[in-house]
Structure formats: C-alpha cells, structure tokens
Chains A and B, each alone.
Chain A
Amino acid sequence: MLTRRDMLKTAAGAGLFTIVPGCVVNSATAPSNQLTRALIGFGCIAHSANHLPFKGSRLIGLCDPYEARVQHGLDCAAKSGWGKIKAYKNFMELLADKDVDIVHICTPPHWHGCMSVMAANAGKDIWCEKPMTRTVGEGKRVMEVVKAKKRMFRLNTWFRFQGNFYGFGTTVEPIRQIVENGLLGKGPIKCTFGAGQGFSWKFGWSGRVNAKPQPIPKGFDWDMWLGPAPWKPYTDHRAGTSFRGYWDYDSGGLGDMAQHYLDPLQYLLCKDETSPVKVAYKGPRQHPEAVGRFDRLTLTYADGMTVDLDGDETLKEEPLLRGANGLCVYKKAPGGKTLRIKDANGFWSEEKVLKTLAELPKPAPQQTDFIDSCKNRKTFALNESNGFRSCTMFNLGIAAERLGRGFNFDPDTLHAVNDPAADRFLYQSMRGPWKKEMWG
C-alpha cells in the first residue's frame, strides 16, 4: 500500500501540491504515515520539549560528536516513548538515510549554514536552530539552495507567530496592527531594544581571553565539532554552552539571542523583504577571538527607520517604538494586561488600547504548522527568506563590532557598499572539506 510518506516524497520531488486521499488521511496516525525526524547534535537545545516529543513527526535517529551525548540521547529518546532509535556515526550518514524526512539542526551556529545546504542537497526538509547562519554570505547561500531544491525550511524561533513577546504581555500581532495601519504616523519609526524594553543582550556570554589548551576528552571528535570553523587547539570553554562567547562559533548574546528579538521586530515593522542600509557602532575595540560587549548598535533602513540596540542601557526610558507623530509603544506595566500606548496627552487607558486594536484589521494569517508545511509544501511562517533578512540585521551588527566601526550595506546586492574590509566579515570562507559542500 502506498503510504503518505511515499506520496509526499514523489510530490515533493516534483514540486507538486499534495492532495492526500481520505484512505491515507484516516490512517495518518500510523507510524509508517508520519514524517520522520533526525537530530543533528544532542547538547543543550536538543533536550527541550520541542525537540524530543515534537508531535506530528516520528524521531528515528540522532548524532553528536560526543559519544557520551549520543548515548544520553538514545536513553532520553527511549524514555520519551520513541523506543530504540538509530545512532548515526556522523551527520553525513544521517543525511544519506532515505528514511529521514526532516533534519533538525541543533548544533552551534557555525555549522548551521553548511548543514542546511547539505541537508537541502540531500532532499531533506530542514528545521534549523537560530541564528540561521553566522554570516550574511552563508545565509544567502542557504536561501539559494533551499529554494532551488524546493525544500521546506523553518527556524526555531517563534515570536512572530506565537507566544508573548517578552515583557509586552501580548503577542506581536497587536503591535503589527498598530504599525501596519499607520497609527504611528507617516515618517520614520524609531525602535529601541535593550534592558529598558525587556531585552537582555547577555554580555555574560563572553569568551575567555587566556583559556589554556587542554587534552581532548575521550570520545569527543573535536575536529568534527569545529567543522567549518578555523582549527584551534581544544579548550573546554570553546565547546559546551560557552561556545557562545567566541566569534568563530556564535558571537555572544547578539549572535545568539538577536534572532529571537529582531525577527518579530522585522515582522511587526513589515520589513521582511529588505535589510538595513547602514549600521553604526559605538563601543570598545573587541578582542580578536573572545566576544565582549557593545554600547550601541544602530541599524538604519532606507526609509529612515532606525533600530537602536541599547548595550550600555542609556536608552532605558525609550519606548519600543516611537512614531513620527509622537505615538509610542511601551511594554506592559507591572500587573498590566497588555502593551501601553502613549501620545502627547499621556498613556492611553487599557480600555482605549483594547478598543482601538479590536477595530483595526488583523494581519494576514501565517502558516504555523511545520509538519503541515512539509506534507503540503506550504512555506512556513519563518522560512529561509524572512529568516535570512532578520539574521542579516544582527550579522551586520556583528561585523561592525569586529571592525570597531559602522558601514553601509546594499540590501539588494547583499554586500557592504565600497567597503572591502566590512565585506570580509560578511562573507567568510570555510575550513575544508566543508567549503566545497557549502559553495559547490
């Protein structure tokens, strides 16, 4: 009997929209009719509730360059009700397995671009942890290959379509309503992101400036863990959770958290199709290997809209959004139910906020079921294109941090403008053999 999986593979390969017959729908809960998933990496993130028990798909295997983590993953999968799943020798073996439909990339960010490209070339649909990629160049390549291979792609951040947006007491939908319906007036909007608005830049995710080389732990494939990143002698602070503190793997709190913060901002500002044209930097000179802090990064769009990333917390009193007409959007007050809006006459009452929002047209619905995306080939809400754009926002910031200065950017060519030094940070090559896998 033709299973749903067989039909989907044929339809996906032909790029067709799948119509599933009733006889198959009725047996959709049978394991042979579920899409299958495999995890690449079983460090911190893979342990979360999203990853092991994710409904609608069947977990069939995992891999990790730490042998101990592979065993731990097998034990956790069995405890979560998946029974005995496969332990692949490495992710290449995982990608070669025709039984795998969806690849879940749970590695540090320096692997995300290369693995996404390899997974797309292997005919897999992709669920990738954030940030999408470490550089603009990698993101552009992922976008190209995912589109060319007609794969479904999603990033693992969700605030543009579900969940309260940090301290705002609400989803981003009402904020988008405000922006989309012109309540902030004509002219550039000023956005501020920092502690005052409820967002931490997590400067504690820093690297050590004098970490000593150490023996590689038994059962750990350090060369594989490094992958496309430059070779460095092993030191335990470069691996584990603390990889976040090194430019080679993540780029600190900005690299690690900004996609959670700035992707919903990009959505609510209706900027999914473009990127900033300028980035400005204020802060100390950075150590060449270990990530420090920034004081201020300012992204400017072509229409004059600005996004200030407030590292030194001098903009704590600013609203999230300040409109050209003076209308401002703040996060909810302690004990409040929803976000606050303020004009020249002061804060609106909660009743006025709720009444105004109820009368505004709602934003277009979003595709928020990734399993449905994969089965019916519908582009997911946060995909390779808009994910690339929001990733570019902070990848510009990271390049400016490392350069110690700002630069101009062309959102169409996706290169720094007349600035080869800046472009070197936006487009970085990879350690072999991953260079060939990534760029062809």
Chain B
Amino acid sequence: MAEQAKKYVDPNPYAGYGAAMKSTPGDPMAVEWQKAHEAEIAAATTPKALAEHLWEAKDADALLAKLKGAYDTDPLVMTEIGAVTQYVMEFSIGRTVDCQKRCGTPGAAPCRRRIWLTALLKAFRATKDEYLQTFVLDQMRWCACKCHAPKIRALADAAASDHVKEYITWTASEADGSAF
C-alpha cells in the first residue's frame, strides 16, 4: 500500500488535508478573510446598510456593477450581494396571492424584491463570464418570485454556456415553485 501511495498522484492538489487548508497571498480562505475584515463585514451588512441598496434601481445596479469576472470580485461585495438577497427573502413571501395582487399595482409601495430581481436580471445580461452568470443565478434562485420566471427563462439567449442554460431552467423552476 505504501508503494501504491508513492506511485499514485491524485490529479487534485488539494486532495490532502494540509494542502486544502493553506491560505496563499491573494487567495485567502473565507475564515481568515472574515477575521481580517470583521468590522467592515458587520458595517456593510446591517439591515440599514442592506436596505440602502434597494431604495431605487440605481442603488441595486451600483452594487452589482462591482462584480468582476473569474472570481476577481472583492469578497466583501460578494458578501454584501448575498446579504441583500437574504434581506429580500425576509420581506414578503413573494409567492402568496396577496403579494402577487399587490405587485405592480399603481400606488403600491415599491417592492424590494422586484428592485433586486430587476437588477439581477440586468447584471446577468451585462456579463459573458460563466462564473458571474452562475453567481447571479444563485441569487435569483433564492429570492425570485413566480412573476419573474418568464424573464429568467428569457435569459437563455445570453447564456455563456449550455450549463448556464440548464441553470436558468432550474432557477426559473425555483421561481415558479416547480423545483421539487
């Protein structure tokens, strides 16, 4: 068996526990990044701070415009985006009859979820980066409403790959409740 171990080289360099847990400059582990930026993360993700990204479309657009391709985005921006998605999930179920009746009704208060989803749809079309498209679809998967499903399906014409097209179909099924 020891002889076997010497000859066999796992194609994945992180197959060993030690290598897997080592941080490298410019490529930190989340746990170290959290520790180094604890105060910034806390300040950026208070309910007040998150709500400020959702007052108007331009606020949401500005946050998502900070996404850079190929995993180059500031992790704080990624965390803020994930937190806004969760903030939106907390407000209105989105799939209730009452919410669907209110949505788009003249005079109704702007729906935070609608502002965020509109911005996410726009951010998807603004990039050709496969990873960024999957990240944006991730956010939609958590918080999209039934009313967003057709616009999500329409993203297929801008998909960076067949895998992203498949992801679009899945996301739309989460939105319209047919995912299970």
Contacts and interface: CB of A to CB of B under 8 A. Distances in A.
A44 B4 CA distance: 14
Contacts, number: 174
Interface stretch (A330-338, A376-384, A424-432): A424-432
Contact of B8 (A72, A245, A293): A72
A200 interface: no
A230 B1 contact: no
A233 B72 contact: no
Interface string B72-90: 1101001101110110011
B31 A206 contact: yes
Contacts of B135: 288-289
A210 B13 contact: no
A424 B31 contact: no
A429 B170 contact: yes
Given A239-B14, A288-B78, A439 B70 contact: no
A208 B30 contact: yes
Given A209-B78, A288-B78, A432 B169 contact: yes
B4 A75 contact: yes
B167 interface: yes
Given A231-B134, A231-B167, A287-B34, A209 B29 contact: yes
Interface string A248-270: 00000000000000000000000
A241 B167 contact: no
A207 B30 contact: yes
A241 B28 contact: no
B16 A290 contact: no
A236 B10 CA distance: 11
Contacts of A242: 14, 20-21
A439 B180 contact: yes
Interface in B22-52: 26-35, 38, 41-42, 45
Given A79-B4, A210-B72, A404 B15 contact: no
A292 B30 contact: yes
Interface string A185-208: 000000000000000000111111
A394 B28 CA distance: 26
A208 B29 contact: yes
B20 A284 contact: no
A429 B173 contact: yes
Interface in B118-156: 130-131, 134-135, 137-139, 141-142
A209 B14 contact: no
Chain A: interface residue count, which band? 35 or more
B11 interface: yes
A439 B135 CA distance: 25
Nearest to B21: A204
A213 B70 contact: yes
B62 to A, nearest CB: 19
A210 B74 CA distance: 8
A68 interface: yes
A287 B79 contact: yes
B27 to A, nearest CB: 5
Contact of A236 (B14, B42, B90, B142): B14
A232 B27 CA distance: 18
A217 B120 CA distance: 32
B31 A293 contact: yes
20 contacts: A43-B15, A66-B11, A68-B8, A68-B9, A72-B4, A75-B4, A206-B30, A210-B26, A210-B28, A230-B134, A231-B167, A233-B131, A239-B12, A240-B15, A241-B17, A241-B20, A286-B79, A287-B33, A288-B81, A439-B180
